[in-house]
Amino acid sequence: MRAGPVALVALFAALVGGGAVLGIGKATGWFRGTTRTVFVTETAPATPTSGPVVSTVKPLLGNGFDPARIYATRSPGVVTVYALFDTPDGRAAQGSGFVVSRGGLILTNAHVITDAGESVGPVRAARQIYVEFGDRDRIPARIVGWDLFDDVGVLRVDSGAHSLVSLPLGESSTVRVGEPVAAIGSPFGNENSLAVGVVSAIHRAIGSLTSNYDLVDAIQIDAPINHGSSGGPLFDAAGRVIGINAQIRSVSGTAEGVGFVVPIDSARRSLNQLVATGSVAYAYIGVTSEDLTPTLARHLGYPVARGALVDSVIAGGPAAKAGLRGGGRHVDFDGQTVLVGGDVIVAIGDSPVTSAEDVGRIVGGRLSPGQKVSVEVIRAGRRSSFEVRLGVRPLSPDGTR
Amino acid present at 317: G
DSSP assignment letter at 158: -
Cα separation of 228 and 191, whole Å?
9
Which residue of the set 115, 147, 150, 151 is catalytic? 151
366 SS3 class:
helix
Cα separation of 394 and 401, whole Å?
5
Please check whether residue 320 is in contact with residue 382, taking contact to mean a CB–CB distance below 8 angstroms: no
Residues 6 or more apart whose Cβ sits within 8 Å of residue 25? 89, 90, 92
Which residue of the set 230, 266, 270, 312 is catalytic? 230
Picking from 263, 231, 264, 255, the residue whose alpha carbon sits closest to that of residue 245 is 231
Picking from 357, 351, 349, the residue whose alpha carbon sits closest to that of residue 308 is 357
Is 229 a catalytic site residue? no
Amino acid present at 202: I
DSSP assignment letter at 167: P
Please check whether residue 355 is in contact with residue 290, taking contact to mean a CB–CB distance below 8 angstroms: no
**Burial class of residue 279, CB neighbours in 10 A (0-12, 13-18, 19+):** middle
Is 230 a catalytic site residue? yes
Cα separation of 171 and 378, whole Å?
34
Is 151 a catalytic site residue? yes
The three-point CA angle 245-45-102 to 5° equals 50
Residues counted in the chain: 401
Cα separation of 69 and 191, whole Å?
18
Picking from 94, 83, 90, the residue whose alpha carbon sits closest to that of residue 26 is 90
Amino acid present at 392: V
Which residue of the set 111, 211, 229, 343 is catalytic? 111
Handedness of CA 359, 361, 364, 368 (dihedral sign): negative
Question: What are the residue numbers of the active site?
Answer: 111, 151, 230
